[in-house]
Amino acid sequence: MMKPFKRCLRHIAAGLFFAGPLLAAAQSLPTTSPERVGLSSERLQMLTDVLKADVAANKIPGAVLLVARGGKVAWFEPIGRLDPAAGTPMPRDGIFRIYSMSKPITTVAAMMLVEDGRMKLDDPVAMYLPEFANMTVGVEKPGSDGKPVLETVPARRPITVYDLMRHTSGLTYGFFGPGLVKQAYNAANLHAGDPSNAEFSQRLAKLPLAYQPGTTWDYSYSTDILGRVVEVVSGQTLYQFEKARLLDPLGMKDTSFYVSDAPRQQRIAEPLASDRSFGVGAEFSDPRVVQKAESGGGGMVSTAADYARFLQMLLNGGTLDGKRYLGPRTLGLMVSDHANGGAGIAPGPLYLPGSGYGFGLGFAVRRSNGEAPYPAAAGEFNWGGAGGTYMWVDPENQMFVVLMLQSPKHRVHYRSLLRNMIYAAVVK
């Protein structure tokens, strides 16, 4: 009998998750009652009530929860306040900073260029960004006083586009975790003065890598650099390319890097004043202030409904409303595990996918039904944002979930809570 994970990949490759009619409207997914798609409305209401109680206890300001199964939205609830200072009620179309949930969008955009034949996964990044030629790797060694000092050695091989997509480039982030390379990132003040993507890439390439390319999974600015590669290959800014090829065709009208118009600014969700930091020197950004940077790794805003359309396209095997965005076999490659031991990839000290998960191209990927402390089926893929947003797609159960929330302090808690309570609502 075929294992569940392989069966999920077979379904993606065939593009056969849903045999029902095409989705009805370009701007929204069809809706249904939970019971019609094998979910318990009573159980989903229990989860909603837990979130409402946390709002009442001033633990979180508010949230939007969306659960879809069988190609239809079965639960779509706004909870609490959009802006805790103003007391504005949360609307369904609240706009949230999605931070690292930008990464799957950027990676899909890059894979569209791969399918176009304009770049390859095994291309050296330096083909497109010459500043990444001749990189060095930071090595910590004891100094004369016994304290570690940072020395550099040459990178043994070039960083590839593939490395950027699976976080094996050797790049890192400076705002969380220990290490002298991370300290060097912080000291470099990489974001000072509103750099463009091109300027940011030049700055980053001057710093040493934290690991030899292709050896270690480490969360990093890899997807920001991938976004810059998209710009060079396409000849457009990252947003221009994503808007033309992905966002506008999908009907993701509220997904962008900045919110410049006043009517939409009224829908931006805000965190509690006591919950605005998610790392060293990393505070909530203000998307109302338009800047040059378009961070493919963490700069986008979106709504639950917009992101649901993106996920439905993925769950459909690369199509939505009769339009194909990715080939099913390309998508199958993306949601395969590329960070397993057989690939020679070591998990870094902060392996965010967690127990039971590998990493694909832009997503964490569940390796088996077990190994993780919460339910899901093998082949499920997911990612979240530092600001509190989270999503997962479960092909085996024909389901996806989007949580829009602005609470970095409690983001990990809700990821586990949601899984436990939503899978308890799956009754057939």
CATH value of 4-101+237-243+250-424 in 3.40.50.12780, 3.40.710.10, 3.20.20.450, 2.60.40.10: 3.40.710.10
Whole-number pLDDT of residue 16: 41
pLDDT at 28 over 90: no
pLDDT at 2 over 60: no
**pLDDT for position 17:** 42
Tell me what pLDDT residue 24 has.
35
What pLDDT is stored for residue 363 in this prediction? 96
- Stretch 124-145: mean pLDDT: 95
pLDDT over 90, % of the chain:
87
Q: 279: pLDDT confidence band, cut at 50, 70 and 90?
A: low
User: So what's the pLDDT on residue 7?
Assistant: 55
Q: What is the pLDDT of residues 41-52, one digit of tens each?
A: 999 999 999 999
Check pLDDT > 70 for residue 280: no
pLDDT score for 146: 83
**Predicted confidence band of residue 3 (pLDDT cuts 50, 70, 90):** low
Query: Quick check: 178 pLDDT over 90?
Result: no
Q: Is the pLDDT of residue 25 over 80?
A: no
Q: What is the pLDDT of residues 219-267, one digit of tens each?
A: 999 999 999 999 999 999 999 999 999 999 999 999 999 999 999 999 9
Give 389's contacts (C-beta < 8 A, 6+ positions apart). 96, 97, 98, 99, 101, 402, 403, 404, 405, 406
Q: What's the pLDDT band for 22 if we cut at 50, 70, 90? A: very low
Domain boundaries, the chain: 4-101+237-243+250-424, 112-234
Say if residue 353's pLDDT is above 90: yes
**How many angstroms separate the CA atoms of 92 and 75, rounded?**
11
